[in-house]
Amino acid sequence: MGNTTPMRFRPALSRLSMPLLLVAGHAAAGLFLVNLDKGLTQIQEPSLRRFSQGVYGLFSLLVVNHPLVRPVIGLAIAVVLWRSLRARPVAWAIDLLGSLLCLRCILQFVLLNLLLLAPLRSGGLLLIQLVLFLPVITVAFGWLYWRLDTGARAEGHHHLRFEDVEAQVGVFDYLLLSVRSLLQLEPAGATATSRLMKSLFVLHGVVMLNLMALTLSRAIGLASGGTS
């Protein structure tokens, strides 16, 4: 009896894992906006400054600021989690959360690169935004790997071949695949078996290499006593 109870809850927790990860990713993306506009206004090139403000305005549209909208969004998320816990169809909601997170991730990536052009008086601003961006990009790519590969497996084929757990692949395995890219610049622990997934691996590696370059350039600027 004691052994069957955890086994009974395991499928329910597995169904909740991806919605909870996406909600956490959106929460991290919301923190990204803190004091960001102050840095973008310091870009000296007028055209780039206007472009950065346009991207920032688009990103701001995806943040829930209205006090009356927040409880509605919270209730909607609670309904999705409850339906997921009860094994009700929520694929459309997960796809919506994942797609919105990927859009926010793209806009954040552009803003991070634009911040490098600003002679920031607060030298640590870019580094703070980089740290806040890491969980967002990790969850976003984890969802992409999960969504593409599980969709393919439902049709009898796959985009990924895992090294250790080919028989039982779960959300954790796709998230771990994304997490490993933080240290190795490309996903490890699985092999891409399709051109689509190979292209996604390359994209993930390029993004992580760009983030490393941003971090090093800002760290060197701070160490040299500059503001850029």
Give one DSSP letter per residue of 1-27, joined into a string.
-TTHHHHHHHHHHHHHHHHHHHHHHHH
In a domain? residue 81: yes
Using one digit for the tens of pLDDT, what is the confidence trace for 61-82?
Answer: 877 776 767 788 888 888 888 8
Backbone angles phi, psi at 3, to 5 degrees: -80, -25
Q: Which residue has the higher pLDDT, 1 or 17?
A: 17
In a domain? residue 115: yes
pLDDT at 122: 52
List of E strands, the chain: 160-162, 190-192
In a domain? residue 228: no
Q: How far apart are CA 83 and CA 90, in angstroms?
A: 7
Among 2-6, 19-23, 182-186, 221-225, the range with the most confident prediction by mean pLDDT is 19-23
Torsion angle, alpha carbons of 41, 46, 47, 52, to 10: 0
Average of pLDDT values for 5-19?
67
In a domain? residue 120: yes
In a domain? residue 146: yes
Does residue 164 carry a pLDDT above 50?
A: yes
Range of the domain at 58: 4-223
Using one digit for the tens of pLDDT, what is the confidence trace for 99-150?
Answer: 999 999 999 899 888 877 766 555 566 777 788 888 999 999 999 999 999 8
Mean pLDDT of the chain: 80
In a domain? residue 129: yes
* Among 13, 26, 18, residue whose Cα is nearest residue 135: 26
**Which residues, other chains included, contact 9 with Cβ-Cβ below 8 Å and sequence gap of 6+?**
none
Cross-strand pairs, 192 = 160
From 12-16, 46-50, 145-149, 211-215, the region with the lowest mean pLDDT: 12-16
Report angle CA 185, 187, 190 to the nearest 5 degrees: 155
pLDDT level of residue 224 (50, 70, 90 thresholds): low
What pTM value is reported for the model?
Answer: 0.85
In a domain? residue 17: yes
Q: What is the number of structural domains in the chain? A: 1
